[in-house]
A and B are shown apart, each in its own frame.
Chain A
Amino acid sequence: MNKLERDERLIRLALLAVSFSAVSVLAVVTVFIFSEGVPIIFKYGFRSFLAGMNWYPSEKSFGLLPMIAGSLMVTLGALIIGVPFGLSCAVFLTEFSSKRLRRTIKPAIELLAGIPSVVYGFMGVVLLVPFIRRTFGGPGFSVLAASIILGIMILPTIISITIDSLLAVPPAYREGSIALGATRWQTTKMVLFPAARSGIVASIILGMGRAIGETMAVIMVAGNAVAVPGSLISPVRTLTSNIALEMGYASGEHRQALFATGVILFVIIMVLNTIANLTSSRKKV
């Protein structure tokens, strides 16, 4: 009896320690990024970081605007490509296909999520970039290439969460709508989408988070020029690429400026995550 109680307490303590270690990693990362990055932001001023157009670390000019614009453009592009595809696919699989077809296609789509990003990047360099160069001109390394690659990469996130939220809509809604004479598409459009809205929005925001945080595949296909892209076929650099590209040789204030890049990225992703959490928790009400 005593022994069992003791074991129980030990296991509880051990599990508690493990869960806290996960949280403490987050704390360490946060503290580290902010303590390294925030001082330089204050030294040169918030505006020169957020609104500066020039990134010349060797001349002490640390404008991140081209990279912020780059991240947003590429992410928006990924959503424009990924969302319609993802939602159509999810609707087809839940509403218009047989259960058997869904059971084969859904795992295949989830497998997409398991492909390492460097492989997407490599495919992009070998197939997509030359294709864009031949078809649209320019160097090929471009906003368009990065958007397409990211659009494909966020598909699994969007599809699987949307499928789950469509399936979570009570069957009575669906049956009621059909019984009133609505077609399947009318039912989907007017009943299921509104009912599953919060889940769908959450899937899009999580996809957005994945797109904005992706680094390797983007570095490989985006061209990484430090200018606000003038067109879809211009090269572009994202915040994540900026850190990964330059950390190798960066020292002193250059290094701190890369941490400052991390701070801005961190804030953007935190905001996205919070929005995602809020919208998905509203679902239960």
Chain B
Amino acid sequence: MSERRPVWFLIAVSFIVSLFSCSRGSTQNEIIVAGSTSVQPFADRWAEAFVKGRAGCFVNVQGGGSSAGIQAAKSGAADIGTSSRELKADEKDLKEIVVARDGLAIIVHPVNPLRGLRLTEVKQIFSGEIPSWSYLGGPDEAITVVTREEGSGTRGAFQELVMGKSRISKRAIVEDSNGTVREIVAGDSNAIGYISLGLVDNRVRALELEGVKASEESILEGRYRLVRPFLFVTKGELVGMARDFVDFVLSPEGQDMIRKEGLLAAR
């Protein structure tokens, strides 16, 4: 029995080693992707599909927020930092890769006579400064403001792109998904909300902003303002498995996955 032990030991060790090494033979077998909570669900999906064909590879996806992700990429704590906002001037020393884009649409009920709003008007509606449609030339009805829950990436982007330092009114109705926001706006002729552009359907109407129609084209032309990039941020050139992962994300397969989720492709 004691003579057989080394053999079993070797088999066990080689089995465990094989579990933890990439089949491609690269030395690194785990990458850390950390940052934006809006990117996180998509990064999770990409990671899942990426490791499927690669036994022993791990992609560790973490949240923490865009700023934390950028910081992590800078310090080397993460191989890839993710961000759902543009890099600031002092962060431009990092390499950024746009992996997807997300348009935000301001939606109202189809019977709403309003065609479009200025950005400042949207801000005043959501902060509660404009309580009635009559201020905007509409009927004398209270505006039902619908927002997303605290912590949601969509809310984060809306806060950043529209609200700035102002707070969204405490009296606003809070729902926990794009779908329920759309559902409420579709059912209430006095409601206004914001959702991902890809999820707008004919039961609600996306408002023009500053005279620009909310559409994929106007985003591609750079005229529609409410759009946020989903970025992968790295320190220096990518190597090894991180390189493979980014290639996968930008491949038609990876881009198709996010288009199905209602996002815009990177290019």
Q: Are B151 and A254 closer than 8 Å at their CB atoms?
A: yes
- Interface segment among A27-35, A97-105, A224-232, A260-268: the answer is A224-232
Interface residue tally of chain A, by bracket?
20 to 34
Q: Are B150 and A130 closer than 8 Å at their CB atoms?
A: no
Asked, given contacts A141-B173, A219-B176, A227-B171, whether A251 binds B63 with beta carbons under 8 Å apart, the answer is yes
Q: Are A58 and B150 closer than 8 Å at their CB atoms?
A: yes
A110 within 8 A of B: no
Cβ distance A131 to chain B, nearest Cβ, rounded Å = 12
Cβ distance B41 to chain A, nearest Cβ, rounded Å = 9
A54–B80 CA distance with the chains assembled, in angstroms: 35
Q: Are A248 and B151 closer than 8 Å at their CB atoms?
A: yes
A133–B189 CA distance with the chains assembled, in angstroms: 10
Chain B, 29-71, CB within 8 A of any chain A CB: 37, 63-64
- Across the interface, B173 reaches (CB within 8 A) one of A54, A224, A251, namely A224
Cβ distance A122 to chain B, nearest Cβ, rounded Å = 11
Chain A, 246-275, CB within 8 A of any chain B CB: 246, 248-252, 254
Q: What chain B residues lie within 8 Å of A244 (beta carbons)?
A: 176
A224–B153 CA distance with the chains assembled, in angstroms: 18
Chain A, 221-239, CB within 8 A of any chain B CB: 223-227, 234-235, 237
A42 within 8 A of B: no
A245 within 8 A of B: yes
B175 within 8 A of A: yes
Cβ distance B229 to chain A, nearest Cβ, rounded Å = 19
A55 within 8 A of B: yes
A234–B174 CA distance with the chains assembled, in angstroms: 12
B170 within 8 A of A: yes
A139–B192 CA distance with the chains assembled, in angstroms: 11
Q: Are B149 and A225 closer than 8 Å at their CB atoms?
A: no
Asked, given contacts A219-B176, A234-B171, whether A139 binds B149 with beta carbons under 8 Å apart, the answer is no
Q: What chain A residues lie within 8 Å of B167 (beta carbons)?
A: 56
A134–B184 CA distance with the chains assembled, in angstroms: 15
A140 within 8 A of B: yes
- 0/1 string, A197-237, CB within 8 A of B gives 1: 00000000000000000000001000111110000001101
B121 within 8 A of A: no
- 0/1 string, B161-180, CB within 8 A of A gives 1: 00000010011111110000
Q: How many A-B contacts if CB must be within 8 Å? A: 71
Cβ distance A151 to chain B, nearest Cβ, rounded Å = 22
Cβ distance B162 to chain A, nearest Cβ, rounded Å = 15
- Across the interface, A249 reaches (CB within 8 A) one of B151, B175, B184, B188, namely B151
Closest to B141 in A: A137
Asked, given contacts A57-B151, A130-B187, A254-B150, whether A248 binds B176 with beta carbons under 8 Å apart, the answer is yes
Q: What chain B residues lie within 8 Å of A66 (beta carbons)?
A: 170
- 0/1 string, B223-253, CB within 8 A of A gives 1: 0000000000000000000000000000000
Q: What chain A residues lie within 8 Å of B188 (beta carbons)?
A: 133, 139-140
Q: What chain B residues lie within 8 Å of A251 (beta carbons)?
A: 37, 63-64, 151
Interface residue tally of chain B, by bracket?
20 to 34
Q: Are A223 and B150 closer than 8 Å at their CB atoms?
A: no
Interface centre among B37, B149, B190 (most CB of A within 10 A): B149
A130–B186 CA distance with the chains assembled, in angstroms: 12
Asked, given contacts A225-B174, A245-B176, A248-B176, whether A141 binds B151 with beta carbons under 8 Å apart, the answer is no
Q: What chain A residues lie within 8 Å of B144 (beta carbons)?
A: 139
Q: What chain B residues lie within 8 Å of A129 (beta carbons)?
A: 187
Cβ distance A64 to chain B, nearest Cβ, rounded Å = 13
- Across the interface, A58 reaches (CB within 8 A) one of B63, B151, B184, B187, namely B151
B152 within 8 A of A: yes
Q: What chain B residues lie within 8 Å of A250 (beta carbons)?
A: 151
Q: Are A139 and B173 closer than 8 Å at their CB atoms?
A: yes
A138 within 8 A of B: yes
Q: Are B174 and A224 closer than 8 Å at their CB atoms?
A: yes
Q: What chain B residues lie within 8 Å of A249 (beta carbons)?
A: 37, 63, 149, 151-153
Q: What chain B residues lie within 8 Å of A235 (beta carbons)?
A: 171, 173
Cβ distance A178 to chain B, nearest Cβ, rounded Å = 54
B142 within 8 A of A: yes
Q: Are B150 and A57 closer than 8 Å at their CB atoms?
A: yes
A138–B188 CA distance with the chains assembled, in angstroms: 10
Interface centre among A223, A244, A245, A249 (most CB of B within 10 A): A249
Query: With A141-B184, A245-B176, A251-B151 given, can you name 9 additional A-B contacts, CB distance below 8 Å?
Result: A58-B151, A129-B187, A139-B144, A139-B184, A225-B174, A246-B176, A248-B151, A251-B64, A252-B64
| 14 residue pairs bridging A and B, Cβ less than 8 Å apart | A54-B170, A56-B167, A58-B151, A58-B156, A139-B144, A219-B176, A224-B149, A224-B175, A225-B173, A227-B170, A246-B151, A248-B151, A249-B149, A249-B153
6 pairs of A and B residues whose beta carbons are closest in the complex: A249-B151, A227-B170, A224-B174, A139-B144, A223-B173, A245-B149
